[in-house]
Amino acid sequence: MQPAGTHVLNEAIKGAVAGAAGVWVMDRIGWYMYLREDESALQREIEARPGGLDPAHVIANRLANALGKQLIPQQPNPWGIVVHFALGVMPGALYGVLRHRLPTLSQGQGVVYGLSLFMMNDEIANPLLKLSGGPRAYPWQAHARGLVEHVVLGMVTDAVLRVMDRELHPPQPHDITQTAGARSAARY
pTM for the model: 0.84
Nearest residue to 111 via CA among 164, 147, 162, 163: 147
pLDDT band at 113 (very low <50, low <70, confident <90, very high): very high
pLDDT band at 73 (very low <50, low <70, confident <90, very high): confident
% of the chain residues with pLDDT over 90 = 74
* Residues 153/23, Cβ–Cβ less than 8 Å: yes
pLDDT band at 74 (very low <50, low <70, confident <90, very high): confident
Listed range (32-41, 82-91, 176-185) with the worst mean pLDDT: 176-185
pLDDT value at position 1?
47
- Asked whether the predicted pLDDT for residue 68 surpasses 80, the reply is yes
More confident residue, 47 or 187: 47
What tens digit of pLDDT does each residue of 122-154 get?
A: 999 999 999 999 999 999 999 999 999 999 999
pLDDT band at 71 (very low <50, low <70, confident <90, very high): confident
